[in-house]
Amino acid sequence: MSKTIITVVGKDTVGIIARVCTYLAGNEVNVEDISQTIVQDYFNMMMIVDTSGSTKPYAEMAAELDELGGAIGVRIRCQREDIFTKMHRI
Amino acid sequence: MINILEVNETNKMIEQEKLDVRTITLGISLLDCCDADLDALNRNIYEKITGLARDLVSTGREIELDYGIPIVNKRIAVTPIALVGGRACRSPADFVTIAETLDRAARDTGVNFLGGYSAIVSKGMTPNEEALIRSIPAALAATDRVCSSVNVGSTKTGINMDAVKLMGEIVRETAEATKERNSIGCAKLVVFCNAPDDNPFMAGAFHGVSEADAVVNVGVSGPGVIKHALEGVRGENFEVLCETVKRTAFKVTRAGQLVAQEASERLGIPFGIVDLSLAPTPSVGDSVAGILEEMGLESVGAPGTTAALALLNDQVKKGGIMASSFVGGLSGAFIPVSEDQGMIDAVNRGALTIEKLEAMTCVCSVGLDMIAIPGDTPASTIAGIIADEAAIGMINNKTTAVRLIPVIGKDVGDTVEFGGLLGHAPVQRVNGFCCADFINRGGRIPAPIHSFKN
């Protein structure tokens, strides 16, 4: 199974990474890489995660992360890695 | 490993520049549905389409969710109905029952359009094909989702001028039959020359006889992404301009190829082709006209427009062709007027005429598309415009098409609303000089000299 990319974009606030990671840990999703930048208080994070150990269906996880993003005040998206690798790698 | 800049670039294309996959079109052969009994034929058609396309819409939604890229339309294309209905249909009215069956199948599978109410008459017309063509006005008036197309010529066969004349009349009759809805039937009727068998885009999609039993074709899009990329190279020379279009087209097509492969795998139906087309929508920032103006034109229609479109069309192909294992369909840039806000604006400011659009069709992938004309335009004039476009296609070995909407009760200066993806259009002036004596000659225009390659 391919990896999943989670992106978090929005206004910076305390505890964004903590809350996202807590959710992922609670659902047996392994975080393999995190990179983030902050430009003018604008928080931008990308996580590469492995969902193969998770029992939660992908669609449900994507919906719950979207909901969590709403609660924090940021946009959280879940996308399979292929869309990025196909576009940027030959 | 993929990095945050690349992820952000892709997501910016999707969220801000309207990158989407325009359509997943499931091509279905109906040849094995043929029956001499009309009821049995209709039953076979309904069962085959709803059986094969049962999961098309839900699969499309799953792919959207997995990759976070919108798939705007899920559609179906079927074998030209003139071939399928031949044994059972005795009259145009019999053919209309098939259109109603197709409409029901489209509604029940959840697709927004189904194409293939078609006839391929590039050299001659069988009685069945003529009956289907004569049924088009009633069929498009009685249905919402069925799209019709007629191929009246090809480089290999020449142009069937009897069919051209007939289509001039049929376009008018279709406009009359749907005049309460701004003659919208004509928005679902395309007259082709050199129609491809695997085009996934409506209204001209059909599943040609050269195709397998079922096949998944995907149409990509992304005018907004190309325009944005060009904003970064303002004032640079043509080499830089072309290279930028090519690189961007590659990325857009890769997304389409991925969606096509996924859809094929999940539906268990072979992958056919990716159609590398820039298809605009009426929403702001999703315009092919916008790209041409970004290249340096004050307005689409200005001198230089044809050259700009030619290079755009060519670079999109060059960039896209390596990104996909199979390329087909129309592949190029679409220039529908009503579906592109930049084109509408150009017409309204007096910069873009039908004659200039005709010149543009010599170098792009389609033809005179979604153009509203006065409701009193004679059938022979419409046939003349169809003949001109077919000649461009025949001589240049390319697909051309005509989708004109003579809007009954409207004249130059009026605007017509078609709704949704079909957009809205200002009614455009048509050359008023008569060509009836030319059209009424009847017969065929022979194939051009360069078609004899054997």
Per-residue burial over B341-355, b = 16 or more CB atoms within 10 Å of its CB, e = otherwise: bbbbbbbeeebbbbe
Q: What is the rounded average pLDDT for all residues in chain B? A: 95
Q: How big, in percent rounded to 5, are the helix, strand and coil portions of chain A?
A: 35, 40, 25
Q: pLDDT band at residue B233, thresholds of 50, 70 and 90? A: very high
Q: pLDDT band at residue A23, thresholds of 50, 70 and 90? A: very high
Residues of A in contact with B10 (CB under 8 A): 83-84, 87-88
Interface test with B, best of A1, A78, A83 (most B CBs within 10 A): A83
Is residue A2 over pLDDT 80?
no
Give B386→chain A minimum CA distance, Å: 40
Nearest to A33 among B1, B62, B258 (CB): B1
Residue B287 forms part of a structural domain: yes
Judged by CB atoms closer than 8 Å, whether chains meet at A79 and B67 is answered as: yes
B39 shares its domain with B115: yes
Q: What is the pTM of this model?
A: 0.94
The answer to whether residue B265 neighbours chain A at the CB level (below 8 Å) is no
Query: Which residues constitute the domain of residue B368?
Result: 225-440
Nearest to A86 among B4, B68, B254 (CB): B254
Answer with the one of B193, B214, B238 that is the final residue of a domain.
B193
Q: pLDDT band at residue A1, thresholds of 50, 70 and 90? A: low
Interface confidence, given as ipTM, is: 0.90
pLDDT per residue over B8-23, tens digit each? 899 999 988 889 999 9
B23 shares its domain with B90: yes
| Three-class secondary structure of residue B183 per DSSP | coil
Residue B354 forms part of a structural domain: yes
pLDDT per residue over B148-195, tens digit each? 999 999 999 999 999 999 999 999 999 999 999 999 999 999 999 999
Residue B337 forms part of a structural domain: yes
B314 shares its domain with B425: yes
Instruction: Give the helix/strand (H/E) hosting B341.
Output: helix B341-348
Interface test with B, best of A87, A89, A90 (most B CBs within 10 A): A87
Residues of B in contact with A33 (CB under 8 A): 1
Is residue B434 over pLDDT 90?
yes
What is the β-pairing status of strands B368-374 and B400-407?
parallel
Residue B156 forms part of a structural domain: yes
At the topology level of CATH, where does A4-88 sit?
Alpha-Beta Plaits (3.30.70)
pLDDT per residue over B40-56, tens digit each? 999 999 999 999 999 99
Residue B30 forms part of a structural domain: yes
Worst-scoring range by mean pLDDT, A81-90, B186-195, B406-415? Answer: A81-90
Per-residue pLDDT at B206: 97
Mean pLDDT for B116-126 is 97
Question: Which residues of B, range 335-364, sit inside 8 Å of A by Cβ?
Answer: none
B304 shares its domain with B176: no
Residues of A in contact with B254 (CB under 8 A): 86-87
Task: Give percent of chain B above pLDDT 70.
Answer: 100
Residue B247 forms part of a structural domain: yes
Mean pLDDT for B77-106 is 97
pLDDT per residue over B266-323, tens digit each? 999 999 999 999 999 888 888 999 999 999 999 999 999 999 999 999 999 999 999 9
Residue B273 forms part of a structural domain: yes
Tokens of B109: 């599978």
> Cα–Cα distance between B90 and B34 in angstroms, integer?
14
Nearest to A88 among B2, B11, B258 (CB): B2
Side-chain-side CA neighbours of B343 within 13 Å: the count stands at: 32
Is residue B366 over pLDDT 90?
no
pLDDT per residue over B329-362, tens digit each? 999 899 999 999 999 999 999 999 999 999 999 9
Q: pLDDT band at residue A41, thresholds of 50, 70 and 90? A: confident
Judged by CB atoms closer than 8 Å, whether chains meet at B65 and A62 is answered as: yes
Residue in chain B lying closest to A59 (CA): B65
Q: Indicate the domain borders of chain A.
A: 4-88
Q: pLDDT band at residue B62, thresholds of 50, 70 and 90? A: very high
B111 shares its domain with B234: no
Q: How far is CA B348 from CA B353, B407, B427, B428, in A?
A: 10, 17, 10, 9
Q: How many domains does chain B have?
A: 2
Residue B130 forms part of a structural domain: yes
Is residue B222 over pLDDT 90?
no
